[in-house]
Each structure stands twice: as structure tokens, then as C-alpha cells.
Amino acid sequence: MGDSVFGDKDNPECRIGNEEEPDQLGFAENRHGRDEQLRFFEDAVVGMRGDAAHWEGAAGAGSLVSWFPMSRRSEGEASSASEAAAAETSVAEARDRDSHTKRFKVHSDFHDYPLATAAFSNAGNSSSATERDYLISQGSSIASKNQIFYHTVTMTDSGDKNPSDSGDGKDEEGDETGSLKTEDFEVRMDLTDDLLHMVFSFLDHINLCRAARVCSQWRAASAHEDFWRCLNFENRNISIEQFEDMCRRYPNATEVNISGAPAIHLLVMKAVSSLRNLEILTLGRGQLGDTFFHALSDCYLLKRLNVNDATLGNGIQEIPINHDSLRHLQLTRCRVMRVSVRCPQLETMSLKRSNMAQAVLNCPLLHELDIGSCHKLSDAAIRSAATSCPQLESLDMSNCSCVSDETLREIALNCANLHFLNASYCPNISLESVRLPMLTVLKLHSCEGITSASMAAISHSYMLEVLELDMCSLLTSVSLDLPRLQNIRLVHCRKFADLNLRSIMLSSIMVSNCPALHRINITSNSLQKLALQKQESLTTLALQCEALQEVDLTDCESLTNSICEVFSDGGGCPMLKSLVLDNCESLTAVQFCSASLVSLSLVGCRAITALELTCPYLEQVCLDGCDHLEQASFCPVGLQCLNLGICPKLNVLSIEAPRMVLLELKGCGVLSEASINCPLLTSLDASFCSQLKDDCLSATTASCPLIESLILMSCPSIGSDGLYSLRCLPRLTVLDLSYTFLLSLQPVFDSCLQLKVLKLQACKYLADSSLEPLYKEGALPALQELDLSYGTLCQSAIEELLACCIHLTHVSLNGCMNMHDLNWGFSCGQLSELPSIYASSSMFSSENIHEPIEQANRLLQNLNCVGCPNIRKVFIPPAARCFHLSSLNLSLSANLKEVDLACFNLCFLNLSNCCSLEILKLDCPRLTILFLQSCNIDELAVEAAISKCSMLETLDVRFCPKVCSMSMGRLRVACPSLKRIFSSLSPS
């Protein structure tokens, strides 16, 4: 790294100025290289040194600003990576300098300043004459997720002079130009040193570095040694000289990490010799010589040593690790032949994945040992190492394939306090004659020697809390009575067939992919959730679990009807709330009587033919796929809605649901007996229940008086007696009797006085006089919507209905064969008697569009006459009083030739597929959508028709043979409001 040292007497504070004034900054060499000045550095500044005595001497010698240009290296050059040493700052000088103001200054263009560090020399102190600051940077070749700037600015004087002030000798008060002072643009803040220290204690290293650039007071505060106890050079390409300097600067550091740094042996030797307060040392990815382990005892305060992926010694001799204070030792993935550890205070030790063949331990206080995946350790070596630690509580020997039962027996005899044992992937152990009474956690993954006989040894571990037996391929049964067992795992045990557990503290069971499992017996007072999905051979399940709330038995195909006893009252699960039995295809008759069950799912249980639920708090039931259900009883249940339309074979139904409001039986075509007692029911859909009779309907209306919507479409067995029972429904407003064989509507007129919607589609047996009470006697005064589609009423009956029932808002006459011309002129019926005030169309002119109508007593809003083959003419003049008509649908009326409409509020008109249409006259100022698809009308008629529709936005003329796509422009001219024209014809 090159050092460029500049002095600036006129700028004693050496403040960072604007990039437009490089000469005042002492940065002339790089005035054209701003890109090289800005350099991103990674990880935190590891230390900042505050030596008051040194700075007192330095202050008298003046200041030297050392600027380190931060240039990016070429791609082929090896990058140097380290942490930057923050510039030395005098805490005493900062306090003296800022004590009268306690303020700092921040420039608005702060982020444009180049990164810099200041180094100071003391001519009178030879010990500090060679001191300098290093910017330890990392090149682009090292990737790091946590990139941090290594930048610190150290100033030598507290003068308030602005670095951007000119050097003409004039102070701020003597500025003759009259310009605003730079100080007026500065941010001032008064903070005590104690407050700064408290605030900075919450900052990480990167933010401490940023704070150090603000002012001298912040720089001094951020340099406090409390913030720089850890020197982290992990994966940094730091040189020995730089590291030595860092150790000299921060002798009180307690933690050093040089893992991945070059020449870690030389670096760690410097650390051991320089840092007497070192407590944590982390090394790795290199070679450590013998001298390091001999010198390790010189670090008296060392508590933790971590070595990862390193070569210890020369690979032949034994490596001794002797230390009187060491508490934690980690030698993972290390290459060494033999290790001897003599640490009387050592508590935890890990040799995981190391390839040593011998490990001699003399650690009387060791309570945690991890020798997992140490494949070269022999059975005798493992036995010797473990038995030499009488206080051992945790032992991980997973993947040590040579471990035998004899070694486990020796460990059990010598380590009476062993609580944790991981012997996974040890094929030679069977636990025969092994007794580990204090064991709380036992992991035996993929132990081929573990069989049902091993459970006898495990049963002696009466303190056991966690047991894991995954992939024990020879295990056939588990029978344990352990009072403290909380968690057990049995996954991928291909021969496992029988599970018998008794533990009042059992709270978690994981049983999965055990294809031979057919019997489970569990007793627990703590188990709340049980999931046994895809246990295809499970036939017997016995539970005594007082706290069990959720059970999932999805895809347990072999479960029989006896499972219902387990989850009913008295079956051992008194708190059960959720039960999932999806795809349990062996269930045929399901019967639950539970005072706690809230949710039940029987999705895909296709073999169920009978269902009986006595669950007063049941709120949700899913029966999707139960298409063979024939008998169902819900007495009582807490359901609010129920859909049984997916059960087409249902013939007997009984429901007692005090809270139910919606019941759907649509599609229950063979339902003949139904007892429905739902006092709050408001909607009942019994569409296509062809076997439903009058007595059933009468009983339902008597027990469900709040019904508002009743759908009896395609219920041909319903007759007059059933309809007279509707008088029990004072709130009935919607009644659908479509596709029935009704001969008379008198029961409806007498019983449904509040009816608003009446649907009579395809009621072909109704006489022409059946609707006379509507327009002659004032029946159903609240009726608003009437659907007579596909009926056989004569033309006169239809005309009288339309003329006299002026309170109707929606009328549907789709497919009526007897529907002829819809002519509402003066010569039609009672319309000839209308007052002459309606004969003139002037009241609908644009000048009078907002004038009130004197007698707007026809409320019709929606009229549908789709597919009426005998309609030839539709004439609705202003005198028809259709002031509210907004939608008219005449599509598929093949013989319709003439349409003449004068409807003030009409918005939607559909004449699609009226292939005979020739004349179209529209006086509809509010029409917005007009469909003329597949009509034979010519473009001149279309142009004339839309010219009076000043609000038309959408016009569909697709497949109109007489409308050329080239004429779209003319149509837009005729109706400027058009936004969308749909045309499918190519230009002719």
C-alpha cells in the first residue's frame, strides 16, 4: 500500500472537502481519479486505538494527513484483503477541543467525500515515530456476503474552519463577498461523551466506522476499546506486518479470528505472544506447527480454541494440547495422527470429522464430547477416550462404525451422568446388556443392530425424554413404558408393525413410511396432535389420550368401522376437536357420538353408505366423494350450513341443527324420507329431489318457520297440499317451482303473501287462466320477479300480465312459443286508455331529459325474451311508460324483423342472432351496449339507429353480412361516444 502524506497548514482540521476542490484537500495526485479514491472494504474495523499520551506529543508536532488511494485491482492480480486499522485519535485532546461546544458538523455532501485515514508522527517520541495506519482491504477475488467499508477519518485539530474556505486569510466574519457562511449550512448537535458511548454500544463495526467520519468527538468516542474487543480477519489476505501492527495497537483484544488468512501459523504465533488477554481464538484452513501448541499455554486467559479444516503438526508426531484454563476445544475436520489433550478445566470438546487414529484425553471436568464421523478411531480408542471423562453428560459418536456394545457398557459404567447419546449409523450396536438409567436423549438412526429385543435395554432408561429410531430396518415392534418420554420418531422402518407406548408426558409422535405397521396403542396425558398419514396397513388404533385435540389419519386405507369407537365419547379422546379420515376407503358405516368434535373430514371415503353423527358442537363436515352414502343422520349437530347434493344416492335424511341457516339437497334424486328440524334455517335448495313428497315438505315448513328462499325445481311429487303448507313460512320471498307438474297456482297465491320472486320455468301444465289472480285480483302484491320461460301460456295471458302487473321489475319469457309481437302501442289492450300526455315523444327530447315524469308507474327493469320464435315485431313507445326499463334481451328470436324502442333508461339491448332483423329504430339516450351479432340488418339502418344513442359505448356487429368493416368510421361519426366496435368481416 502506498502512503501519500500531505500537510495543510491552512486547514488544521484536515476536513474532508468537496471533490470539486481537490487542492484544498491535499489530494491533487488523484484529482482526476475519483473512481480510484472510492473503495469498498469488507467486515468491521477491528480496532481503534486511543493513546492520550501519544496524541499530546503529536499535537505539538503538527499534523500529517496520510491519504491512501483506494484503487480497484485488475482482475488478474491477487487481491489483498484485511481489515483497516482506524486512525489514531486522542481522546483527551478531543474532549479538550470540543468541551466548550460539544458539537459536531456534518456536510450535506457527506457521502461524496473520499475515504481516508490520518496518521500522526511524534518527533519527540521515538517509540511512536514509526507508527502508521493501514487500510486493510480485500480485493474482488474474495466473495463475502457481509461487505463492510473499512474507512475512518482521523483529524488532528478541532478548529471550526471549513475545509472549503479559500486560503486568502479571511476569516468567516471578514468575508467581503457577503455570501452565506458555510457554517450556517452545518448540522449542530450537543452530545456528552457518556451519551455517545451508550449510543455507540448499539452499533456494529460498519456503523462505528461511519460514525467516526462525522467529527472528532464521534471519532474519539467510536475508538473506545470497549467496541473493539474482537479482531476478525476471517478470509482476509492480511500480511504479518499488518497483523503485528494490529496486535500492537489493540493489546487488550479478547477475541481473534484468522480462519482462512494466509500463513495462519505465523499470524497465530504473533497473536499468542502479543495478546495476553486473549480468550477466544479461531483458526482454520491452513497448517499449524508444533510450536503453536507448545506456546498455547502462554495464553493464560484462553477459554475457547476453535480449529477447523487444518493440518496439525507434520502429520506424524502426537499433538499435545495442554492448558490449565481452556474450557472449550473444537478440532473439526483436522488432519492429525494422534492428539493428547490435558486440560483440567475443559468442559466441551469436538473432534467431529477429524481423521485422527488416537485421542488421549485427560479432562476430568469434560461433560460434552463429539467424536462424530471420526472414522479412523478404533473401538478401543473411543472406549478409552470416553471412559477417561467421568463427568461426561453428552456423547456424539454417530458414524463411528466400529463402536460395539462392549464400549457402550464401559461408557455406561464409567459415565454415570450421561444424558445425551447419539449412536446413529453405528451398525454394530444392539444395546444388549447396556443400562443407561440417566439417559434423556437417545438417537439411533440407521442402526441395523437395533431390534425389538433392544427395547428391553431402552426401557431401563426411565429418564428418557427423546427417542429417535429412524431407518432401523430390522425393528419390528416397540413396546415402552417410560414415564418421561416426550418425543419419539419412527420413520422409514420397513419391518415395523406394532407400536405400544405408555407415557403420561408424551407430546410428539412421528410415524411415517412404515408400510408394515398395523397396530398402535398409545397412552398419554400430554399428546395434543397425532398424524399417522399413509399408514396403509394400519387396522387397529387404541388411544388413551386425555389432551388429544387433532388427529389426521389420511390414506389409512385399512382402518375399519371400529375406529369410530376410538373417537367417540368413552373412547379415550375426550378433548378431540378435529378428525381427518380422508381416503379411508374401508369405512362403510361411520358413527360418531362426541361432545367435543368440531371438525370432521371424510373426503374420498367412497364406501360409506351410512353416516350417523351425534356431535352437538360439530361445525364443519366435508363429504366430498362420499357418492355412495344412502342414509345420513345429523342429530344433533352445530352445523350452520350443509351440502348433501354431492350424495346422489341419499334416500333417508334426518337433521337436527339448531344453528343451521343453509341446507342444500340439490341432486339428491332418490331422497324420499327427510326430517329437517332447523329452526334458524333461511335457505333450502331441494332441486331435483324428485321423490320428495308433500308430507315431507309440510313437516319441514312446520319446523323451519324462518325459511326465506325455497327451491323446489324439478320436484314433481310436490302437490297442492305441500304448497298450502308454505303458509307456515311468513318470511318466504323466493320460491322456485320450475319444471314441476303444477295445475294451479292458487295455493301459492293464498300461502305466500310476501313472495318477491316466483320462478315457473317449463310449468307446461298451467292453464292460461292460472295467472289471472296476479293481474285481476291483485294477488302477490310484493311480487317483483316472475320467470315464465318455456311455458305454454297464450298470447293474451302474456299481454294482460305485462299490461296490468306494473309492479314487476324482472320478467323472463324465454322460449315461449305463444309469445307473438310485443306491441305496446295505443291499440294494445289497456294501453289505449293512457292519458294523452304520454302520446307525445317531445318529453324525451334532450331539452327535457332531466324533467320529472308525472306518472312513472311501470317498474319493469329487465325483460328477457330469448329464443321466442314467433316474435316479429317489438314496439315500445314512450306511452308504454317503461321509464325504468334498463335491459332488454331478444336474442335468438329468428323471425324478429322490426324493433322500435323509445326507452329513456335502457342501457343494454341484445339482438344477437336475430337473423331476420331489418328495421331498427332506437330513441334510447342512455343506451351503452348494443349487440347485433349475426343480424341481417344493413349498415345504413345501424347508422340511423345509433345516431340517437348519445351514450353508446359498445357495438357488436360481428357476422353481420350487410355491415362492412370499412364502414366503422361512418358508425363512429354517427355516434361519437362509441369506444368499442366489434367486427369480424374483412374489408370488401
pLDDT at 134 over 50: no
Q: What angle do CA 856, 858, 862 make, to 5 degrees?
A: 125
Which among 471, 522, 528, 464 has a CA at the least distance from the CA of 496?
471
If asked whether residues 221 and 302 sit together in one domain, one would say: no
Region 147-156 average pLDDT:
33
If asked whether residues 214 and 258 sit together in one domain, one would say: no
At 32 the pLDDT is 39
Last residue of a domain, one of 344, 366, 388: 366
If asked whether residues 198 and 278 sit together in one domain, one would say: no
At 190 the pLDDT is 54
pLDDT tens profile 944-971: 999 999 999 999 999 998 888 777 888 8
* CB-based contacts of 279, cutoff 8 Å, min separation 6: 254, 255, 301, 302, 303, 304
Tell whether 556 is covered by a domain.
Answer: no
Instruction: Count structural domains, the chain.
Output: 3
The label of the residue with cell 306491441 reads 823
If asked whether residues 212 and 260 sit together in one domain, one would say: no
pLDDT at 396 over 60: yes
Which among 194, 280, 309, 233 has a CA at the least distance from the CA of 80?
233
Cα 402 to Cα 179, 190, 357, 412, 421, distances in angstroms:
86, 69, 12, 17, 16
Residue 173, exposed/middle/buried by CB under 10 A (0-12, 13-18, 19+)?
Answer: exposed
Using DSSP's 3-state secondary structure scheme, residue 589 falls into strand
At 857 the pLDDT is 65
Any idea of the CA torsion for 804, 808, 809, 814, to the nearest 10 degrees? -80
Within 10 angstroms of residue 951's Cβ, the number of other Cβ atoms is 12
Secondary structure (DSSP) of 488-517: EEEES-TT--EEEEE-TT--EEEEES-TT-
Note the helical H segments in 388-532. Answer: 405-414, 454-458
pLDDT tens profile 704-724: 999 999 999 999 999 999 999
Its domain, for residue 199, covers: 193-227
| CA 123 distance to own-chain centroid | 65
If asked whether residues 218 and 332 sit together in one domain, one would say: no
Last residue of a domain, one of 176, 201, 227: 227
Q: What angle do CA 691, 693, 698 make, to 5 degrees?
A: 145
Region 197-210 average pLDDT:
85
| CA 458 distance to own-chain centroid | 41
Decide which of 125 and 339 is more confident: 339
pLDDT at 579 over 60: yes
pTM: 0.71
pLDDT tens profile 66-98: 223 333 333 333 333 333 333 333 334 444 444
**How far is the first Cα of the chain from the last one, in angstroms, to the nearest whole number?**
81
Note the helical H segments in 162-239. Answer: 193-200, 205-212, 216-222
If asked whether residues 223 and 252 sit together in one domain, one would say: no
Q: What are phi and psi of 580, to 5 degrees?
A: -120, 120
Q: Which three cell numbers stand for residue 105?
A: 458538523
If asked whether residues 240 and 358 sit together in one domain, one would say: yes
pLDDT tens profile 837-878: 333 333 333 344 344 334 446 899 999 999 999 999 999 998
At 965 the pLDDT is 76
At 799 the pLDDT is 87
Q: What are phi and psi of 642, to 5 degrees?
A: -150, 135
Note the helical H segments in 847-967. Answer: 939-946
The overall longest dimension of the chain from CA atoms, in Å, is: 126
Tell whether 659 is covered by a domain.
Answer: no
pLDDT at 324 over 70: yes
Q: What is the DSSP letter of 930?
A: E
Q: Where are the beta strands (DSSP E) in 791-849?
A: 810-812, 822-823
**Which long-range contacts does 330-335 make (Cβ < 8 Å, 24+ apart)?**
330/304, 330/305, 330/306, 331/307, 332/307, 332/308, 333/308, 333/309, 334/307, 334/308, 334/309, 334/310, 335/310, 335/311
Element (H, E) at 320: strand 318-322
At 315 the pLDDT is 64
Last residue of a domain, one of 333, 366, 399: 366
The label of the residue with cell 502429520 reads 315
Q: How far apart are CA 297 and CA 951, in angstroms?
A: 95
pLDDT tens profile 472-488: 999 999 999 999 999 99
Decide which of 497 and 802 is more confident: 497
Q: pLDDT tier at 56 (50, 70, 90 boundaries)?
A: very low
Q: How far apart are CA 102 and CA 176, in angstroms?
A: 30
- Is the Cβ–Cβ distance between 84 and 136 less than 8 Å? yes
pLDDT tens profile 272-294: 998 989 999 999 999 998 899 99
pLDDT tens profile 27-51: 333 433 334 333 333 343 333 333 3
Region 200-223 average pLDDT:
85
Pairing mode, strands 898-901 and 550-552: unpaired
Q: How far apart are CA 815 and CA 798, in angstroms?
A: 13
pLDDT at 492 over 50: yes
Q: How far apart are CA 586 and CA 561, in angstroms?
A: 8
- Is the Cβ–Cβ distance between 120 and 58 less than 8 Å? yes
Q: What is the DSSP letter of 956?
A: E
pLDDT tens profile 615-659: 999 999 999 999 999 999 999 999 999 999 889 999 999 999 999
- Is the Cβ–Cβ distance between 922 and 904 less than 8 Å? no
The label of the residue with cell 427417542 reads 467
If asked whether residues 921 and 970 sit together in one domain, one would say: yes
Q: How far apart are CA 168 and CA 24, in angstroms?
A: 12
Task: Determine the angle formed by the axes of helices 240-249 and 264-274, rounding to 10 degrees.
Answer: 20
pLDDT at 150 over 60: no
* CATH (domain of 865): 3.80.10.10
- Is the Cβ–Cβ distance between 256 and 281 less than 8 Å? yes
Within 10 angstroms of residue 211's Cβ, the number of other Cβ atoms is 19
Q: What are phi and psi of 665, to 5 degrees?
A: -115, 20
Tell whether 926 is covered by a domain.
Answer: yes
Region 550-569 average pLDDT:
94
If asked whether residues 876 and 971 sit together in one domain, one would say: yes
Which among 600, 636, 598 has a CA at the least distance from the CA of 619?
598
Tell whether 497 is covered by a domain.
Answer: no
- Is the Cβ–Cβ distance between 714 and 738 less than 8 Å? yes
* Of the candidate ranges 544-548, 831-835, 955-959, the one whose mean pLDDT is the lowest: 831-835
Element (H, E) at 575: none
Any idea of the CA torsion for 702, 706, 709, 714, to the nearest 10 degrees? -10
Q: pLDDT tier at 818 (50, 70, 90 boundaries)?
A: confident
Tell whether 336 is covered by a domain.
Answer: yes
- Is the Cβ–Cβ distance between 566 and 597 less than 8 Å? no
Secondary structure (DSSP) of 550-600: EEE-TT-TT--TTHHHHTSTTSS-TT--EEE-TT-TT--EEEEE-SS--EE
At 555 the pLDDT is 94
* Of the candidate ranges 157-171, 882-896, 911-925, the one whose mean pLDDT is the lowest: 157-171
Using DSSP's 3-state secondary structure scheme, residue 338 falls into strand
Element (H, E) at 749: helix 746-751
If asked whether residues 922 and 977 sit together in one domain, one would say: yes
Element (H, E) at 919: strand 919-922
Tell whether 868 is covered by a domain.
Answer: yes
If asked whether residues 201 and 247 sit together in one domain, one would say: no
Tell whether 259 is covered by a domain.
Answer: yes
Tell whether 662 is covered by a domain.
Answer: no
- Is the Cβ–Cβ distance between 165 and 10 less than 8 Å? no
- Is the Cβ–Cβ distance between 896 and 874 less than 8 Å? yes
* CB-based contacts of 130, cutoff 8 Å, min separation 6: none
The label of the residue with cell 334510447 reads 924
At 440 the pLDDT is 97
Q: What is the DSSP letter of 62?
A: -
Q: How far apart are CA 442 and CA 454, in angstroms?
A: 13
At 21 the pLDDT is 36
Task: Determine the angle formed by the axes of helices 52-60 and 91-98, rounding to 10 degrees.
Answer: 60
If asked whether residues 881 and 937 sit together in one domain, one would say: yes
